[in-house]
Chain A
Amino acid sequence: MSRTGSFFCGSADHGVSRRGFLGAAALGAAGTFAADMTQLNVLKQEVLANELKKQQKHVILLWLAGGSSQFETWDPKPGRPTGGPFRAIQTSATGVQISELMPKMAQRMQETTSVIRSLNTRNADHGGGAVLMETGRRDDPGIDYPDIGAIVARELGRIDSQVPDYVSMYTSTEGRRKGTSGFLGARYAPMFLSESMIPENIRKLDSISVVDHQDRAALRDMLAKSFQQSRKNDTVNSHTQAYQRVRGLMASEKLFDIEQEPEAMRAKYGPSQFAEQCLIARRLIEAGTPFVKVARAWWDSHGQNFETHRELCADLDHSMSTLLDDLKDRGLLENTLVITLGEFGRTPQINASLGRDHFASAWSCSLSGMGIKPGVAYGKTDPDGHKVAEGEATAGDLFATIMTALGVDPKKEYMIGARPIPVTDFGSKAIQEVLA
């Protein structure tokens, strides 16, 4: 496995290998994993070995906000009345064709990616669809469900982590959603980047000198250790960890700075904002962040669907394939699941503005990397893409598939008071055909 530098602070001057970092941190912090900063009880306590294993897993969600067209990405229907003008091209996976707008991903299918072509999620409203696909279940006024980022942060994040557990980037304004940690609590809420790619409000105040800042931290540590020696309990531990975490987050600014990357690497990703955010996602993953969402808005192509997809698919195809290559080259892809998903797909019918409208009855997403059997096209739509013909999958099924790929038991339950809430919705089943 070839690995280039992988660094916590983002500076080549302070290079520490990710594996070394994780290993050392895991050994040093083994006693703290069972601690939980939420007030939740977990029915199934994991053994430490499993927890340690999970800590090396990551998720990058490429969120295609507004809803991309399955016809112009993963499920082309060339020559059909609904198919549009673009051709299908053969991928590296035998018998699997995707749109000609995705040529770079076509070359990488056999090694990295599977597609699910049979999502029937029944909600073609932006807001409702986004909630459904981000939480894996229908909205329930009685329960504030966490989204996938918060669940992954909780299940895979290290309690002693000094990097953010859940980072969400959404710089366009249309359809902007921050994400929610729901009943998991603020500990798993996303670090949300909307205006700038570098987080705001994590810098030291200008009114405090570096020396003063360090002195204060040292004093607090000394007092805390003294206090802890006579009062060992989880609350005290949690308080101390929270301070450590804040200091870690303050030091993580460079992770968001792609100027820290070699010029050749920046050139590979290219200049689009989406590509640069994918590069940041890789940097975060490499440093130990369990979940990064990169939202690319806005795919809502009611007018000029084909021009929109010619433009946006070029961005997606290049950014996604470069990200997968980069993860693979660094040995990270085997531990990183890359999900490409939006809130729904687009209609088979082509409207008078040459657009496609909202459609949730038969659409597609892709899964790449960790836990996924690559080169699979699961499910089938009818010849014109109006209905699912084989392998219908719900949002819950997709969620269960993702959790299974990550090694998280989809039936694991959180207790909200006396009420058990499973990680994935009742009745959901993982799609075994796309799992490794």
Chain B
Amino acid sequence: MASYDPSKLKVTKNIGLNSVAFCVARVPNSQRLFFGSSDFKVYELDLAAEKPEPKAFNGDGHQSYVTGLALAGNTLISGSYDGRLMWWNTETKEAQRTVEAHQLWIRGVRVSPDGKRLISVADDMLGKIWNAETGELQHTLVDHKAMTPHNFPSMLFAAAFSPNGEWVATGDKVGHIAIWEVATGKKIAEVEAPGLYTWDPRQRRHSIGGIRSLCFSPDSKLLAAGGIGHIGNIDHLDGPARVEVFEWQTGKRTQEINDKQVKGLVQQIAFDPEGKWLLGAGGDNGGFATFYNLENGQQIHSEKFPMHVHQFALNESSDTLYAVGHHRVAVGEFKAA
């Protein structure tokens, strides 16, 4: 029997930060977190401590926002808007390796389920698969277009490995998703989610949406993409949280969730290990974490978070989420009684 109950989600811990935390990695079976920050640094934060305090990693580190983190054993890999990937020893907090990985801003870093591979995605519109241990570049994934259909720079925001480790998906600003074979780097499928591209052709003539989050289902058959729906006022993220779910091998969309009760970007998605629900978190000026029924797309429960959530990590029993975001770290629990 599952240890979780989505209807019970509550924020149980809330810690202020001096900066914006964009990404998080969690040490397994612990409350020890690492987060990447708007002050260009990587921090450790042990929530089990009596007075949890962020401890910065050593050295000069990155030269811009740290927007991606992945933990592979004792090695933490960070990606930044400076285009670099950095490998860190989590015990000494010293940098071990720096790789000039991308020409433009790295938007995300993900590690494969076995911890052996890493993917980085960036605004040079490339996905790159790396050996997580050696830093060797294994494949460069070329597919996403540099310009939007309206001739503005596109952005490659999201990536996710499938739980079986065979595939990796990448998603961009205009709602194009490519699915790649990890072993060969070959593209094997495409999915289109144009409802996540928020181009306003008349009122404000720009866009801020895009695919901000991707996640495969536990059986690797479904792929969920998150972002924001049609925006009434593009200045304020004033649009519904939006998630689309696909049987990616056929391209068939199985769910289209356009949640008008919750405004803002869905910055991260997670599937229920048992396949019943989907969890999306993000925000506008505020933050949210919302559960949706996978069968009918209806909202199960939504909880306000004290900050716009940029990323979260679930614990092993999928009943606690560790969220980072705008000047805060928050813990949400949804344990069954």
Residues of A within 8 A of B (CB): 66, 79, 81, 85-87, 171-174, 270-273, 296-298, 300-304, 307-308, 310-312, 314-315, 350-355
Contact = CB atoms under 8 A, between A and B. Distances in A.
9 contacts: A81-B38, A85-B105, A171-B205, A298-B206, A310-B123, A310-B153, A353-B236, A354-B308, A355-B235
Given A85-B81, A173-B202, 10 more contacts: A66-B204, A81-B39, A87-B63, A172-B202, A298-B203, A298-B205, A298-B234, A307-B155, A310-B123, A353-B236
Contacts of B152: 272, 311, 314-315
Enumerate the 6 nearest inter-chain pairs by beta-carbon distance, A residue then B residue, closest first: A298-B204, A303-B237, A85-B65, A304-B208, A85-B81, A352-B326
B205 to A, nearest CB: 5
Chain A interface main SS type = loop
Contacts of B161: none
A350 B38 contact: yes
A353 B308 contact: yes
B237 A312 contact: no
A302 B231 CA distance: 14
B64 interface: yes
Nearest to A303: B237
Interface stretch (B4-12, B90-98, B283-291, B312-320): B283-291
Given A81-B39, A298-B205, A352 B307 contact: yes
Contact of B20 (A272, A311, A354): A354
B203 A353 contact: no
A87 B64 contact: yes
Contacts of B38: 81, 85, 350
A306 B284 CA distance: 15
B207 interface: yes
The CB with the most chain A CB atoms within 10 A, among B65, B105, B204, B287, is that of B204
Nearest to B66: A85
B277 interface: no
B19 interface: yes
A353 B64 CA distance: 18
A86 B64 contact: yes
The CB with the most chain B CB atoms within 10 A, among A66, A297, A304, is that of A304
B235 A303 contact: yes
A29 B158 CA distance: 65
B40 interface: yes
Contacts of A314: 152-153
A350 B20 contact: yes
A412 B140 CA distance: 64
Contacts of A174: 203-204
Given A81-B39, A353-B284, A298 B151 contact: no
A362 to B, nearest CB: 21
Nearest to B105: A85
A353 B207 CA distance: 15
B206 A85 contact: no
Contacts of A312: 206
Contact of B208 (A86, A303, A315): A303
Nearest to A275: B151
Contacts of B65: 85
Interface string B8-51: 00000000000110000000000000000011100000000000
A358 B284 CA distance: 18
A351 B203 contact: no
Contacts of B287: 352
The CB with the most chain B CB atoms within 10 A, among A85, A273, A298, A315, is that of A85
Contact of A273 (B81, B205, B208, B237): B205
Contacts of B204: 66, 172, 174, 297-298, 300
Nearest to A305: B208
Contacts of A271: 151
Contacts of B123: 310
A338 to B, nearest CB: 21
B207 A311 contact: yes
Given A298-B206, A303-B237, A270 B105 contact: no
A294 B236 CA distance: 25
Given A87-B63, A304-B208, A352 B151 contact: no
B286 A352 contact: yes
A352 B308 contact: yes
B153 A311 contact: yes
Nearest to B210: A307
A427 B232 CA distance: 43
Given A85-B65, A301-B235, A307-B208, A79 B155 contact: no
A296 B284 CA distance: 25
A296 B206 CA distance: 10
A413 B167 CA distance: 73
Contacts of B155: 307, 310
Nearest to B81: A85
A258 to B, nearest CB: 15
Contact of A353 (B150, B202, B206, B285): B285
B284 A311 contact: no
Contacts of B234: 298, 303
